[in-house]
Structure 1
Amino acid sequence: MFDEGRGPEWEHHTDQCASFLVSVLTGEAETGCFPDLPAEIHWFGSDDGILARLHAHDARLRSRASWA
């Protein structure tokens, strides 16, 4: 079962999450949750900087809290 995330709609699928996403990306399955897929071109960005940005954000929040 998949939730559209920003609304009340739920879809039932027999696949597990990873296999469902692969089938949507390859065009083997269709879903209203990802109406723009499959795309003609797929690319995946690196998440290397996410943790660094999260730590910097947390440090800024802690800094602000110490001044309060």
Structure 2
Amino acid sequence: MKKVLEIVGFLALVQGVAGLVHEFTDWDWGFVQRLGFLDGYEIYASVALVVLAFALFAAAESRGGG
């Protein structure tokens, strides 16, 4: 379970950072900007993904051994 939390946390971190990079540099990659219902809220969704990633990393750490 620890590895699953770490992998999902890593994916959330990458997508959150990709969304922020897209917003500030217009680099066209990542998943957040492709979701139509988040139109206008991409920065908030990206920050939420980064926060979720750190929460998942903390949960994985508290789980202990693999």
State TM-score, norm by structure 2: 0.32
Larger relative contact order, structure 1 or 2 (CA cutoff 8 Å, min sep 6):
2
Q: Which has the larger radius of gyration?
A: 1
In proportion to residue count, which structure has more strand? Answer: 1
State TM-score, norm by structure 1: 0.31
